[in-house]
């Protein structure tokens, strides 16, 4: 027994194991304290760069969104180093519908057509048992004052309004400036011009039924010889005009009983309108009134959905349509907006890094913002306000706002898919003398948005006055002028994020 206790043959094995363990512990300590921070820091920096690229792609996806869903993938966090625990980083992504609200207060004094509610209109549920359910169909145009050397009224080149519907049967109503033929004193035909301006006003009805049969009616008036011949600018038939030195006002009555259009072409013969048969060469003219009543009653349910396919060389326009007992006023909007929300919603990804600086990428009002402990910067896009001027030195304020909607929230370090789709859109353009924009924000982004509003304020100096005011949780940009020479253009898109 005594000899066994004194035996130390196993001591070297124990000591060796302890030394190996100590070396391993030391190695792991060196690895975790030096190599892991470098490796994982680089991985987190690469992840930050990848997030920026993803947010750029996502921004383009949002701005170009349509009714078809589009998707992109995003890596929320970084992966863990094999055999080394707690080396992954976690991200937190979510949509805040009430974040980054942008509101607008203004009163449009002279709207430009083809925008907002004037983009489309519907003629619904006409009483087909009535011969004339439409009681008023007028279009009132405001044009830039264009005259020749004789101070005569002329139409601007390119003047056009085209109302088109693809509801069941296709109907297109065109009112446009065209060149006309002059055969006086010459055996051939040549274009007739009026001091460099084309002088014809044409109204045309194009109709295509469900079987593809085409009908076309039209008439062209010589602006100088026909319309100007009307005493005191009353024009001819259902066309009147006047001017005030700044603008020319052109009024067209599409229910006029005197104005007659000619059947230029048809695949079907005869065409029966209001009890009368019409052919291309015999009994081939009828009134604007009968054409409007007839073609707007064509669909089986008495409904047409129109949209403006062309709206050119027109300062403003009112389209008035009365039918049955319903009154619809179409186009020519002069909206008064009081604190209207034109932009809202933010998409944020917060990165909780272990070794790289913690940060957040934020999509807000079309801008990509990088937020870190030492502040925030715009990485792409300055935001939704674009300042420029037109050839007449009018100030142009172009607002492009996004409304993000969705309840998407996730966290971790997995690869996630983000899907976006256009839910709705709205836009209008018009002249005003007063614009107030208010931007809500979080405290961490306040200095950034303050600087942006101050910079925008400093660029506005075209016959206008501007100032910016700052509050704890929002800032305001106020632009005003003594005359409505501020051209305000607003485009808003509602985007669903899932």
pLDDT value at residue 388:
78
* Nearest partner of 167 among 299, 328, 322, 358, judged by Cα: 299
**185 pLDDT band (50/70/90 cuts)?**
very low
**290 pLDDT band (50/70/90 cuts)?**
very high
Beta-sheet pairing, 326-330 with 160-165? unpaired
> Tens digit of pLDDT for each residue in 412-470?
889 999 999 988 776 666 778 888 888 898 889 988 888 888 888 887 766 666 677 77
- Tokens 């109709």, located at residue: 207
d(CA 276, CA 292): 15
The mean pLDDT value for 394-411 works out to 85
d(CA 327, CA 321): 7
* Planar angle of CA 35, 38, 43, nearest 5 degrees: 120
The Cβ of residue 14 has, within 10 Å, a number of other Cβ atoms equal to: 9
Compute the residue count for the chain: 498
The mean pLDDT value for 190-218 works out to 73
pLDDT at 254 over 80: yes
**What number of CA atoms fall less than 13 Å from residue 191's CA on the CB side?**
9
pLDDT value at residue 14:
67
State how far the alpha carbon of 443 is from the alpha carbons of 99, 195, 349, 471, in Å. 12, 61, 17, 10
Helix (H) / strand (E) element for 128: namely none
- Pick the range with the lowest mean pLDDT from 2-11, 72-81, 479-488: 2-11
pLDDT at 7 over 60: no
Counting beta carbons within 10 angstroms of the beta carbon of residue 170, is it exposed (0 to 12), middle (13 to 18) or buried (19 or more)?
A: middle
* Nearest partner of 422 among 409, 400, 404, 408, judged by Cα: 404
pTM here? 0.58
State how far the alpha carbon of 299 is from the alpha carbons of 120, 271, 303, 373, 374, in Å. 18, 16, 6, 63, 64
The Cβ of residue 34 has, within 10 Å, a number of other Cβ atoms equal to: 10
- Pick the range with the lowest mean pLDDT from 51-55, 118-122, 244-248, 340-344: 118-122
Beta-sheet pairing, 395-405 with 486-497? parallel
pLDDT value at residue 115:
38
């Amino acid at each position: 027994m005594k000899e066994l206790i004194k035996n130390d043959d196993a001591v070297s094995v124990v000591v060796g194991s302890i030394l190996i363990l100590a070396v391993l512990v030391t190695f792991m300590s060196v690895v975790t304290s030096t190599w892991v921070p470098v490796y994982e820091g680089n991985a987190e920096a690469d992840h930050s760069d990848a997030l920026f690229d993803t947010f750029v792609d996502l921004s383009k996806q949002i701005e170009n969104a349509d009714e078809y869903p589009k998707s992109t993938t995003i890596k929320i966090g970084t992966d863990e180093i094999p055999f080394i625990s707690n080396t992954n980083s976690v991200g937190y992504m979510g949509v805040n519908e009430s974040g980054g609200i942008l509101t607008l207060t203004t009163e449009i004094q002279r709207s430009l057509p083809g925008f907002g509610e004037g983009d489309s209109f519907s003629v619904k549920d006409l009483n087909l048992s009535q011969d004339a359910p439409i009681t008023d169909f007028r279009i009132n145009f405001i044009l830039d004052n264009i005259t020749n050397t004789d101070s005569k009224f002329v139409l601007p080149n390119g003047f056009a309004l085209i109302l088109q519907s693809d509801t069941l049967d296709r109907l297109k109503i065109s009112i446009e400036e065209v060149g006309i033929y002059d055969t006086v004193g010459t055996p051939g035909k040549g274009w007739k011009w009026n001091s460099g301006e084309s002088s014809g006003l044409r109204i045309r009805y194009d109709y295509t039924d469900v079987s593809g049969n085409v009908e076309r009616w039209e008439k062209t008036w010589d602006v100088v010889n026909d319309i100007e011949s009307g005493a005191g600018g009353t024009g001819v038939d259902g066309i009147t005009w006047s001017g005030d030195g700044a603008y020319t006002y052109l009024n067209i009555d599409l229910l006029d009983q005197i104005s007659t259009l000619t059947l230029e072409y048809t695949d079907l013969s005869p065409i029966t309108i209001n009890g009368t048969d019409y052919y291309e060469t015999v009994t081939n003219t009828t009134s604007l009134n009968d054409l409007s009543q007839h073609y707007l009653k064509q669909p089986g349910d008495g409904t047409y959905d129109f949209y403006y396919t062309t709206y050119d060389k027109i300062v403003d326009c009112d389209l008035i349509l009365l039918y049955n007992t319903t009154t619809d006023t179409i186009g020519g909007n002069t909206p008064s907006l009081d604190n209207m929300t034109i932009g809202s919603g933010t998409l944020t990804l917060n990165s909780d890094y272990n070794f790289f600086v913690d940060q957040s990428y934020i999509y807000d009002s079309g801008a990509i913002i990088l937020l870190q402990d030492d502040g925030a910067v715009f990485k792409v896009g300055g935001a939704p306000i674009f300042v420029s001027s037109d050839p007449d030195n009018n100030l142009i304020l172009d607002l492009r706002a996004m409304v993000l909607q969705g309840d998407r929230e996730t966290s971790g370090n997995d690869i996630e898919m983000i899907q976006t789709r256009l839910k709705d859109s709205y836009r209008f353009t018009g002249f005003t003398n007063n614009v107030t924009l208010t931007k809500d924000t979080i405290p961490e982004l306040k200095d950034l948005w303050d600087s942006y509003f101050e910079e925008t304020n400093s660029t506005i100096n075209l016959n206008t006055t501007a100032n910016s005011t700052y509050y704890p949780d929002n800032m305001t940009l106020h632009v005003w002028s003594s005359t409505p020479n501020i051209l305000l253009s607003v485009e808003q898109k509602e985007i669903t994020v899932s």
